[in-house]
Amino acid sequence: MKSKILFVTGTDTAVGKTMVSLLVMRALAGHDAVYLKPVQTGCMDPNSDSDPAFLHRHLPHGLPHGMTPADCIHLCRIQPKAPLFAGESADRQALISFVAAHAALHQTVVVEGAGGILVPITRQWAMLDLARDIEAQILVVARAGLGTINHTLLTLGAIKARSCPCLGVIFVDPTDAVPELDRAENAQAITLASDIPVWGVIGRQDPGNPSAAILDMLCMALNPFLN
């Protein structure tokens, strides 16, 4: 059976992709799933201050299959910049092969992007191109509050323009600052304009002990991807 690849992207940097990736991995408990962060910038030590290190600390048994945080990363750069400007040029085929090697061994691969969907990896190859080239379904992480309609629709438009499959949108509101009505109106506007579902909102969560309701919501969102 061909591996299923989920690409977790965002409408911007620091919107909550890593938290969503953690919760997706929690929701995939019992599945043969691995997590990858092919490109990591703004990182001094992959095993301590990377996004995979965050997952390793907060998953009940650490990263699956005995992987270390460094194992999840192909390209690591110290500078907190878009990969194009963060250091030595990335090798497109090497990144694709990195994901493919794990996809050959596991049923499900969760790939977290860096920054937003159009962040450049090379001069003519962006995160969206990586998602397309690894034949991933895309899950978009977006803020829940003011401005998210525009940012999310722009992201969904770019995904549609490349004919990439989009699983849907997850809102993140880490401080529970956005009123429920605003969350609902923003989700409705995005779905009406794009025909892409907004599955729900992840509010304030303990990364080591997320709520059962949030995991149930993510299981529902992942159902079309897994089946």
DSSP-assigned states of every residue in 69-118: GGGG-SEE-SS-S-GGGSSSPP-HHHHHHHHHHHHTT-SEEEEEEEEETT
4-226 folds as Rossmann fold (3.40.50)
User: Is residue 88 very low, low, confident or very high in pLDDT (cuts 50, 70, 90)?
Assistant: confident
**Mean pLDDT value across residues 89-112:** 97
Classified as helix, coil or strand, 146 is coil
- Average pLDDT over all residues of the chain: 97
User: Is residue 1 very low, low, confident or very high in pLDDT (cuts 50, 70, 90)?
Assistant: low
Identified catalytic residue from 2, 4, 17, 37? 37
**pLDDT tens digits, one per residue of 121-179:** 999 999 999 999 999 999 999 999 999 999 999 999 999 999 999 999 999 999 999 99
Helical (H) or strand (E) element with 34: strand 33-36
For this structure, is 37 an active site residue? yes
